[in-house]
A = this chain, B = another copy of it.
Amino acid sequence: MESTKHIEILKVNDQNITKKKDYLIVEYPFTILLNDKEIITLLSSPKSLKYLALGFLYSEGYIINISDVKEIQIDKERGKAMVYIEQTKMMAKSLQQKKTITSGSTKGTNLYNAMHDLKPINPKDSIDIKINEITSLIFKFNNSSKLFIDTGGAHSCALATRTEILMFEEDIARHNTFDKIIGRALVNNINFSDKIILTSGRISSEMLLKIAKVNIPVIISVSAPTDLSVKLARELNITLIGFARGERMNIYSNFSNFNF
> Interface residues, chain A, CB within 8 Å of chain B?
5, 7, 9-15, 17-19, 22, 24-27, 29, 40-44, 97, 99-108, 111, 131, 151-153, 172-173, 176, 202, 204-206, 223-230, 243, 247-252, 255, 258-260
Check A99–B100 contact: CB distance below 8 A: no
User: Which residue in chain B gives the minimum CB-CB distance to A32?
Assistant: B101
- Copies per assembly: 2
**A251-B12 contact, Cβ under 8 Å, with A29-B111, A152-B224, A259-B17:** yes
Contact partner of A151 (CB less than 8 A), chosen from B19, B224, B255, is B224
Check B248–A12 contact: CB distance below 8 A: yes
User: Which residue in chain B gives the minimum CB-CB distance to A25?
Assistant: B226
A223 vs B15: C-alpha distance in the bound complex, in angstroms?
Answer: 20
**CB-CB < 8 A to A101: which residues of B?**
40-43, 106-108
A157 vs B121: C-alpha distance in the bound complex, in angstroms?
Answer: 39
Check B105–A226 contact: CB distance below 8 A: no
**CB-CB < 8 A to A111: which residues of B?**
29
**CB-CB < 8 A to A251: which residues of B?**
9-12, 17
A259 vs B16: C-alpha distance in the bound complex, in angstroms?
Answer: 10
A224 to chain B, nearest CB (A): 3
A91 to chain B, nearest CB (A): 17
Contact partner of A250 (CB less than 8 A), chosen from B11, B102, B230, B248, is B11
A98 vs B149: C-alpha distance in the bound complex, in angstroms?
Answer: 34
**CB-CB < 8 A to A43: which residues of B?**
100-103, 204-206
Check A226–B153 contact: CB distance below 8 A: yes
A153 vs B102: C-alpha distance in the bound complex, in angstroms?
Answer: 14
**CB-CB < 8 A to A230: which residues of B?**
7, 24
**CB-CB < 8 A to A131: which residues of B?**
12, 15, 17
Check A173–B103 contact: CB distance below 8 A: yes
A230 vs B249: C-alpha distance in the bound complex, in angstroms?
Answer: 36
Check B17–A227 contact: CB distance below 8 A: no
